[in-house]
Amino acid sequence: MTCSSLCFRPVMGGVFLMSWAPALGRANGLQEETPCLPTRVYASRMRRESAMETLGFGNRAPVLANVPWPEQVRPRTSDLRRSPILRRARSAAIRPSSERNLFSASSRPRSESANQRLSCSSAKFVRYAPVVGQGPGQTRISSSREGGALRMIDSDADIDAIRRRPGMFIGDVHDGSGLLHMVWELLANALDEHVRGSCRAVSVEVGEDGSMTVRDDGRGIPVDRVDGVPFVQKALTSLHRTPTFDGHTPHEHVGLHGVGLVAVNALSSWLSLEIFRDEKHYRQRYERGIPCDALEAVGSTSQTGTAITFLPDPTIFSNPWFNAGAIATRLRELACLVPSLSFSFVDHRRHHFHEPRGIRVFLERTRSPGKRIFGVVAVEEVENDISVEVAMEWRDHPRTSIDSFANIQRTTEGGTHVRGLLNGLARGLRDVEGARVNKRSLEQLRDIVASGLHAVVCVRLRDPTYASPTTSRLATPAVATVVSAVVRRAFAHELRHNAELRAHIVGQIKRVDHP
């Protein structure tokens, strides 16, 4: 048996990974020395993980514990600093495989040193992964694919990892793209069935409660037991290290790189599964990724297929509302790309919108970076036949975000009402903190109050004028005067009575004075 280490050579845009056999066998006291087949993999900055996948480690770094680096292949210190993959591989050399899960606790028991070695013979590598069904921290060596897929890590750890880092698996959980990605994952499974020639129709339904159902007439997800649990339960609770859970080809990705059903299950308040296969109707329910009961056959049937219904978890998604327009558009595209497959879409939701709190709600629902420092400051007045509504807050982020409207028409380029808002804030600050800011210009004060500002301003007037035919920029001069006066009074009053707001603004002044 021959052991080998890896040499990482930094190059432009990535690293080269090469296997080395000489000297390492002698360093470990091995009697036999059989050179390994050379393995050379290029990893770009965008696809570093593919190198580890090619070498047989999935997306994990190789375990090099207790294997010394031969002097002629020992990396330079500068190489360690420049190469992220090398830093990761080198750090893995001093940690057991059970601790190399980035999302699991760091206080897991260490495994035996013999189980931490990297074995190489004719470029074959031993893979390490926790076994499903064993206790946390318990590991076992798996040196081959079983049923076309690698061994899965602990399912509870997978669910917890996805729920703590949802953006790494489905994308943004605030702008709606993550919700759509969950739908695309289910559609991808139906498309796989169609590629195999067993699915002709796919239906997508949004329930009255906001749940999503994707149904196909394929063969139905397999229910055979794998490692003591049904295959479908493993697919819903365990991450896979291959393009598909069972290693089948061909495979279709509807969105980005698929993460499988487990991400959909983990990020749902509940998920209901129905399988029609082998003349039986199976059913199972999950809550936040955990099965509530065992998969059971509830009756006989002549149909085939799979139906999955899930409700996005509101503790994960800031706005768990599916964009029906985006779903319909994507289904139309797929109907053109896959003409032999039929798609249907139904939205059972009742769309009723009523917001008595007005632009306060608009401000709260508008996405802005940073964390809100305190509550919303709002003012609504009518002066000189011009109605002014303003809602504003400050966040611990330097970016300024202002949404503006004139006669309920969005003004994407701002205008006199936005200028009046900033001028009013600056003058209100001068009224209260005159001793601190009297020597500063109005422009400097505007920069101070605008840092971290997130606001909505809406004006209504009889005869607005715009700077362009597109009505994207308000140009009525009187609006700036009126908005400035209204905001100045309201902001000065808030500074005098809101100690938290005043402390934040004073802190901004001090940061400008002492950067």
The phi and psi torsions of 286 (rounded to 5 degrees) equal -125, 150
Give catalytic residues, as residue numbers.
Answer: 185
Q: What is the pLDDT of residue 324?
A: 94
Asked whether residue 152 is domain-assigned, the answer is no
Range of the structural domain that residue 81 is part of: 5-125
Asked whether residue 146 is domain-assigned, the answer is no
Domain with residue 404: its CATH number is 3.30.230.10
Going through 100-179 in order, the beta strands assigned E by DSSP cover 120-121, 124-125, 127-130, 139-142
pLDDT digits (tens, 9 = 90+) for 98-155: 333 433 333 333 333 333 333 333 333 333 333 333 333 333 323 333 333 333 445 6
Q: 487 and 453, same structural domain?
A: yes
Domain boundary among 322, 347, 372: 347
User: Which residues in the chain land under pLDDT 70?
Assistant: 1-155, 240-259, 514-515
Asked whether residue 463 is domain-assigned, the answer is yes
Q: 341 and 382, same structural domain?
A: no
**Taking a C-beta distance cutoff of 8 angstroms, is the pair 421, 402 a contact?**
yes
Q: 218 and 74, same structural domain?
A: no
The domain total for the chain is: 3
The phi and psi torsions of 284 (rounded to 5 degrees) equal -160, 150
Q: 87 and 9, same structural domain?
A: yes
Q: What is the pLDDT of residue 246?
A: 52
Q: What is the pLDDT of residue 175?
A: 87
Q: What is the pLDDT of residue 87?
A: 52
Q: Is this model's pTM higher than 0.95 or not? A: no
Q: What is the pLDDT of residue 156?
A: 79
Q: 311 and 191, same structural domain?
A: yes
User: In Å, what is the CA distance from 142 to each residue of 57, 115, 151, 169?
Assistant: 11, 11, 7, 25
Distance in Å from the first CA to the final CA of the chain: 62
Q: 337 and 386, same structural domain?
A: no
Q: 110 and 172, same structural domain?
A: no
The phi and psi torsions of 313 (rounded to 5 degrees) equal -75, 120
How many beta carbons lie within 10 A of that of residue 399, not counting itself? Answer: 13
Asked whether residue 455 is domain-assigned, the answer is yes
pLDDT digits (tens, 9 = 90+) for 442-455: 888 999 999 889 99
Q: What is the pLDDT of residue 502?
A: 87
- Residue indicated by tokens 């934040």: 504
Asked whether residue 133 is domain-assigned, the answer is no
Q: 255 and 313, same structural domain?
A: yes
Q: Whole-angstrom Cα distance, residue 273 to residue 181?
A: 19
